[in-house]
Structures are given as structure tokens and as C-alpha cells.
Chain A
Amino acid sequence: MAEPIIVMEGIEKSFPGVHALSQARFDLYPGEVHALVGENGAGKSTLMKVLTGIYPKDAGRILYKGVEVNIPNPRAAQLLGISIIHQELNLMPHLTVAQNIFIGREARAGLPFLLDEDRINEQAAELFRSMHLKLDPRTRVNDLTVARQQMVEIAKALSYNAEVLIMDEPTAALTDTEIDELFRIIRDLRDQGVGVVHISHRLEELKKISDRVTVMRDGRYVNTVPTAETSIDQIIQMMVGRTIYESSPELPEQANPEVVLEVRNLRRGNVIKDVSFQLRRGEILGFAGLVGAGRTEVARAIFGADPIDGGEIWVRGRPVRIRSPQDAVRLGIGYLSEDRKRYGLTLGMDVESNVVLAAFNRFLGPLGWVQSDRTAACTQEMVRALAIKTPSIQQRVKNLSGGNQQKVIIGKWLTADTDILIFDEPTRGIDVGAKSEIYHLLNSLAQQGKAIIMISSELPEILRMSHRVVVMCEGRITGELSAAEATQESIMRYATMRGEILRQNSG
């Protein structure tokens, strides 16, 4: 093989509280498709953001065509010929395809400020011809499918004479035919000598498109292997192979069989596809899957935060219609968002206000005044019961640690008398000590007979906490596992099981 076009060595990157990359490395040859895989949070995207100048690296070096380079910003990467296509596409929807591609570099007609629209369109058309792509340069981006918008991004990257093209989860929103066309274009580029980095969660896809696979785990480099000689099982093994730092799972006694929540054939657009499951009293039901699998969407749909297209929700044996979060709360369902600070708390207010926020009605006196002695008493009780560490109930919530903020939210839902609790990533951003406190709290809530759905992207957490595990992929439930059956490998297998595989297996 020729010289590598990119070599990254010893890359270190820390964010406050997180060591995101540690001695990470990666290399890329011209004319290859190099897949980069790993669990959520393994550091794939961070590594590529370092390469494209979005994040500065703390240590390590980057060689481009054998020469050490400094890439301080995205512009510098672009000028070197390194382009990245983010999962969130960066296009201007009101502008045409050609206008998007050449934004900032428009051809001029005679005068320096006058646009030569014909030439811009002609240049774009030429670009599409070289990609064997049929696309009218004058189409507004708004009118294109996501797949076509992605093609526009690729064309834009190529127009900068990109020699390195990084694609972050390019297939996440595409249909199978669209993926085929994308792969055809990627192969064309590869044959023209472009080095392509393909970040993906879909392991079976790697076989189709990549030449080599690099696996990352916990911010570290694990291994680089030729795709053709490696099985998907081996890759999964490398992805999850960490030693489980938790001790034995703390499972409470077997759940009471009474079903308190049942979801039947829930559907919402492309994000929730025919989801059915049951939740029992006293049970912790783990929802596993990769980011974007549709778990949060299911939770929000049950909670009435998003409208549904179809399906039934049964609460305590009765069919219900939940049109808004108020309906859900009235039925005793509480949702603890993954983004506590945005959706869970009023940060500037004190502990007391937050705890009673969802249940003000219970503290109203005859004239509609809030009875502050009762709210204070209730809050004191919660602070004691949940062991919330706060100097007083008048402390503003933003001054508490992440773990204690989470407890305040739990206190809020308990005050509101909810007994079906949906925890979305309950320990995100919480340090290790506080995590185990949250785990204890979840366990004791389950023992008290609350029914709990716990959405988590951390497999050890799922394995440690859940009585049963439901695994989602692309809006579907692809597997349901008992605590005994659930292992990192079995969950990963279901979590990467795309629709086509399902159909093959059943048909």
C-alpha cells in the first residue's frame, strides 16, 4: 500500500470531568474505506472532531501525508482536503443545491459583488456528473430527502477537492435503496483515491463497504483489523470487552406480576415502529439500544409529550388516551428527562419549589393560596427520604451536584404521586459515587412497588439494574431478554439488528 494520508498518534482529549480520548490512534490510506466503530461514548466522533479542527487536542500528533500538521479550526481542515459530514447535516434549507455547495465561493459575473448563477449551477452540475448523480442544481435543499441532502454534502466536500472524507453515521436516516446509492458513491470515491472514514453503529454494514475496521472503547484504541478476515462477533467482542467494574447485580426480589403499563403497537412516523411491551409493578425494565434507537421517543410518546400515529396504551388494565404530559401525570406516570437541566428542573429556583412543582394542587388552601408550611414539610420529608445533600430546602437547585439534582427530580415525581417512573439516562453526567446512590434509590423504589422504565446507553448499568431488558434498534423492539439472558454481547447483537436483518431472519 502507499503512504498513509492520515496518521493520528497518542491523541489525548479531556472535557471537564471526562477523559474522552486517551492514547487514541488512527490511520487512513488513500483509496480505502476505513470504518470506525465503538459503543456510544467510545470516542469515535470526538477523535474525528479533533482531526477536523472542531476540538483542539490536548496532546498527540497528526500527520497529513507524512508531515505533522496543526489543525486549529474546521476551515484549516477543509483547506488541507479533510472534510467531515456530520450526522446533523449542515445545509441552508432555503437555498438551492448549487447555492449551498458554493456558498462563500460563488462565481462572479464581471463585477466583484455580482453572482454568476449560471456558472454556479454549471459547476454543480459538473460535480454531480462526476459523481454519476442525477440532481438538478436549482432544486431547493428543503425539497430534497435526507439522503439527497447528504449527497449534496458529499458533493460540497468534493468541491473542496477533499482527499479525506469523514462520514459520521451517514446511513442513520436512510432507507435501504438510499444506502445502496450512498455506498455506490463511496466506492466511486474510494476508487478515485479518496480516503473515507465511515463511522457507524451498523455492524453488518461494515462488511459491505469497509476495507478495514478500527474499534474504539472508552476513549482508547482497541484494534484495527481487515474487514474481510473478521467476523461481526469478533468486532462486537472488541467493542464491549471491558471488564465490568460493577460488582454483582443488585436485583430486588422477583417482580409482582400485576401489569401496570402496557403498550401495544405504538407507532409514530419513522421513529417508533410498532412498539409493544409490558411493565409490571415493582419491576425495573431496562431499555437498551444505541443513541437514536427511538427509546427516548417511546418514553416521550407514553408521557404525552409527542403525538402518536397509532397504538394503544393501557394503564392498570384500562385503555387510556394520553394527549399531554398533564394526562400522563394524572395517570401516575412520571418522566425524568435525559436532559435534566433543560426539561427536568427550574434551575434558578430552590429545592422546595422544584419538589412541589408537579403537585401544586395538593398544597392549595381554600382561597387558592399555596400553603407554604405544608410544601416545606413535604420537601423536608423528601430531602430526608432521598438523602438529598443540600444546605437547606431554600438552596437553589443549580448549586447542587448532578446526583442531588437527579434526586430532586425523583422527589418531584414522588410528591406528584406517580408510580410509573420513566428514567431516561438517570446517571448521565453523575459521578461514580452518586451513581451507586441513584441505583440504590431505583432499587428501593421498585421494592416499594413502583414500576420503573430505565433507558440507558450504558450496558453495565442496564445489566446491573434491570429485571428484564428490552432492546431497540431503529424504532423497533428487536429483542426482549430476561436478566439471566442479558449479556453485553446479546444486547449489542439486538441493538445493531436492522430492519432488513429482521426480515431475513423471520422470512
Chain B
Amino acid sequence: METTQITSPKASIFQSDALQRILAFAGLIVLFIVFSLASPNFLTLSNVIGILIATAVNGVLALGVTYVIITAGIDLSIGTVMTLSAVMTGVFITFWDLPVWLGVLAGVTTGALCGLANGVMISRMKLPPFIATLGMLNIAKGLALVISGLKPIYFNDDPVFNQISMGSVIGAVIPGFDIPNAVLILFGLAILASLILNKTVLGRYTFALGSNEEAARLSGVNVAAWKTAIYTLCGAFAGIAGVIMAARLNSAQPSLGQGYELDAIAAAVIGGTSLSGGEGTMLGTIIGAFVISTLTNGLRILSVPQEWQTVVTGVIVVLAVYADIIRRRKS
């Protein structure tokens, strides 16, 4: 008995996702230094705020999809579900002249319903997440085009709506400190998402499903119900992202959105969320989202053509996933 070895919980920190999170953060710092040295236009207040705003939409999407990835699932539909949500907000506010808050609610609810549909397809109908959400990607994309009549929906009648993203609550309190609301929403949601992941039953089962679904089932966890809830939550985040996006552009653009899902998944993976499930943090995901938007922004400032920015992002994603595989092989 005396020889019983006690393993400290801290022992695992450096061999787990924390390592990748630290790497991602270090990478972010390096990116900032490199771009600052390369261009005087990079480290300016307006450009940094630009990066923050650019991160808002992708970051919120990434927060949602982080839950799904931790369960060892995937959601490819978040990009176009975001678009559909934005269009529904436009329908409520511009087409039907309803109050802004109702439009926002409609957008978020649309996202949640799409997520619910994903969850039912995956947990009840037993479709593989890849296929189910690929189907939803196209359904949402098509619906967005049909409902909008292929044209952008503008919010010109309701100037309040634009303030949701581009106004600054902080700026009103502390003059000169004009951080746009979209950024505040991102950070607020990140804290909320982290609390849900770490302090609630839903979060616990998110990890449990990704770690060993069968063990969770045998322990009496209602796997189907919780999985549905997790996809619904992911959809709701996509809905929120849709509202932020629409408010920022002051319009719902029905043809925008596809491809955003990959940036969001990339953000989660760069931040240490494992595609094989069971591991991940919201802090990591936010760092990952900043890595991507900083990279895109910096390359644009250096006048690297758009096509090459895409190539670079692709390479980063491949490297991040490869790092995850190496890490897994070692343990």
C-alpha cells in the first residue's frame, strides 16, 4: 500500500491538448512579430480592430463546432446554416417589418433548428456526421437562395441592426476605446461556451461521448439525446454568427458562407481540439481563430494574392492535424 503511486493530475498537462494550445499561441505571437516587421501598416489600431472583427464570425462558428468535434463528430453545415440564419433575420426585419430583437431571435432559432435536424439525423437515423451535415450544407445553401430570391437583403430601414456588430458599447462608456460589439460578443460567447463545456452536464457528456461513447452508453447516459443537444447548440452558434455577419455587412448575402465551416474547423484543430474526440478547449479555439484571421490579414497587407492566402491556410490546417496525429501516436 505504501508503495502505491499517486499520479498527479498536473502530469498530463504537457502531453495533452495544452501543448498544442501553447504552440498555437506562440504561433500567433510569431505571426504578429513577423507581420509587424514586414509592414508598418500591420500593427495599427485600426488594423488590429479589423483583425478582431474578422475573427468574430469565424470565432463564433468555431466555438460551436468545437463541441461537435470533441464528441468525435463533425459539422460541415455551419457555413451555409450561418447564411440561412442571416437570410431569415433579413426576412423577419426587412420583409416582414418585425422588430430587430425578433429578427435576431429568428436567426438564432433557424441555426438551432438546423443543428437539431443534424442531431436527429446523426443520433436517431444513424447517418455518419460527415454525410448528414454535408446534406444539411446543401439544404441550407439552397434554402437561403430560394428564400432570398437570390438577392441580398438589406437592413437599411433599421439602422439599429448594424449597431449589433459595428456599434461600440464600450466606446460609449469609455470614449476612444471603440472596440466593436461584434468583438465583445465573441469574447462573451467564448466565456459562456467555456463555462458550458467545463461546468455543465452537457459539457461533461460532450467529452464522454468523444472519449468512449460505448462506455457512456453503458453507464446510463442517454447518448442520442445528448448528441442531438450538442449539434443543436452548434447550430445555435452558427445562427448567432449569421446575425453578427448580417449586422456587420448590413445585409444578408445569400451566396456567402460556404467555406466558412472549414475555417472554423481549422480554428478548432489549430487550437488543440482533437478530430478523434475527447479533447479540446474554447480558449484554444479562440486562439486558433485568431491565428487564421491574423494570417489572412497579414498576407493581404503584404499584398499576397487571395489565391495564395487560401493555399497558406490549407497548409496550416494540414500541419495542425498532422501535429495532432503525432501527439496521439506518442501517447
Hey, which bits of chain A sit against chain B, CB under 8 A? 74-75, 78, 90-96, 99-100, 103-106, 108, 113-115, 117, 132-136, 138-140, 142-144, 148, 156, 177, 181
Contacts and interface: CB of A to CB of B under 8 A. Distances in A.
Interface in B2-56: 3-4, 6-9, 11-12, 16
B208 A92 contact: yes
Given A113-B201, A134-B1, A136-B8, A94 B278 contact: yes
Interface string B203-221: 1100110111011101111
A103 B331 contact: no
B6 A135 contact: yes
A148 to B, nearest CB: 8
Contacts of A134: 1, 4, 6
Contacts of B6: 134-136, 139
A140 B9 contact: yes
29 contacts: A90-B212, A90-B215, A91-B215, A92-B208, A92-B215, A92-B278, A94-B207, A95-B207, A96-B9, A100-B215, A103-B215, A103-B219, A103-B221, A104-B220, A104-B221, A106-B204, A115-B200, A115-B201, A115-B204, A134-B6, A135-B4, A136-B7, A136-B8, A136-B9, A138-B9, A142-B12, A143-B7, A143-B11, A148-B7
Contact of A142 (B215, B218, B331): B331
Nearest to A74: B218
A193 B16 CA distance: 41
A90 B213 CA distance: 10
A103 B208 contact: yes
A94 B211 contact: yes
Contacts of A133: 4
B279 interface: yes
B165 to A, nearest CB: 30
A90 B215 CA distance: 5
Contacts of B145: none
Closest CB pairs A-B (n = 3): A94-B278, A92-B211, A94-B211
Given A92-B212, A143-B7, A143-B11, 15 more contacts: A90-B212, A90-B218, A94-B207, A95-B204, A99-B208, A106-B201, A113-B201, A114-B199, A115-B199, A134-B6, A135-B4, A136-B6, A138-B9, A139-B9, A156-B219
B211 A93 contact: yes
B139 interface: no
Contacts of A148: 7
B229 to A, nearest CB: 10
Interface string B92-134: 0000000000000000000000000000000000000000000
A106 B221 CA distance: 11
Contacts of B220: 75, 78, 104-105
A94 B203 CA distance: 13
Contacts of A104: 216, 219-221
B192 to A, nearest CB: 13
A305 to B, nearest CB: 17
B202 interface: yes
Q: Which of A100, A103, A106, A144 has the most CB of B within 10 A?
A: A103
B7 A90 contact: no
Contacts of A143: 7, 11-12
B112 to A, nearest CB: 17
A347 to B, nearest CB: 21
Q: What bracket does the count of chain B residues touching chain A fall in?
A: 20 to 34
Contacts of B208: 92, 95, 99, 103
Interface of B: 1, 3-4, 6-9, 11-12, 16, 199-204, 207-208, 210-212, 214-216, 218-221, 278-279, 331
A461 B218 CA distance: 38
Contacts of B16: 140
Contacts of A181: 1, 4
Contacts of A92: 207-208, 211-212, 215-216, 278
B232 to A, nearest CB: 14
Contacts of B7: 136, 139, 143-144, 148
A143 B3 CA distance: 17
A93 B278 contact: yes
Contacts of B204: 95, 99, 103, 106, 115
Nearest to A136: B6
B195 to A, nearest CB: 9
Nearest to A184: B1
A95 B4 contact: no
A156 B216 CA distance: 13
Q: Which of A104, A133, A142 has the most CB of B within 10 A?
A: A104
A115 B1 CA distance: 32
B170 to A, nearest CB: 29
Contacts of A115: 199-201, 203-204
Nearest to B195: A114
Contacts of A136: 6-9
Contacts of B212: 90-93
A95 B200 contact: no
Nearest to B11: A143
Q: Which of B6, B16, B210, B215 has the most CB of A within 10 A?
A: B215
Contacts of B207: 92, 94-95, 99
B189 to A, nearest CB: 18
A75 to B, nearest CB: 6
A78 B221 CA distance: 13
A95 B214 CA distance: 14
A117 B215 CA distance: 20
A114 B204 CA distance: 10
Contacts of A135: 4, 6
B142 to A, nearest CB: 34
Nearest to B277: A94
A449 B215 CA distance: 50
A132 B207 CA distance: 29
Contacts of B200: 113-115
Contacts of A95: 204, 207-208, 211
Contacts of A105: 220
Given A103-B204, A115-B199, A132-B1, A140 B278 contact: no
A304 B215 CA distance: 33
A78 B220 CA distance: 10
A100 B207 CA distance: 11
A140 B9 CA distance: 7
Contacts of B278: 92-94
Contacts of A93: 211-212, 278
B328 to A, nearest CB: 11
A157 B228 CA distance: 28
A92 B215 CA distance: 7
A25 B202 CA distance: 43
A100 B219 CA distance: 9
A90 B220 CA distance: 13
B188 to A, nearest CB: 19
A136 B219 CA distance: 21
Contacts of A142: 12, 331
A94 B199 contact: no
Q: Which of A78, A95, A106, A177 has the most CB of B within 10 A?
A: A95
Contacts of A74: 218
B325 to A, nearest CB: 17
A142 B331 CA distance: 9
Q: Which of B9, B211, B216 has the most CB of A within 10 A?
A: B211
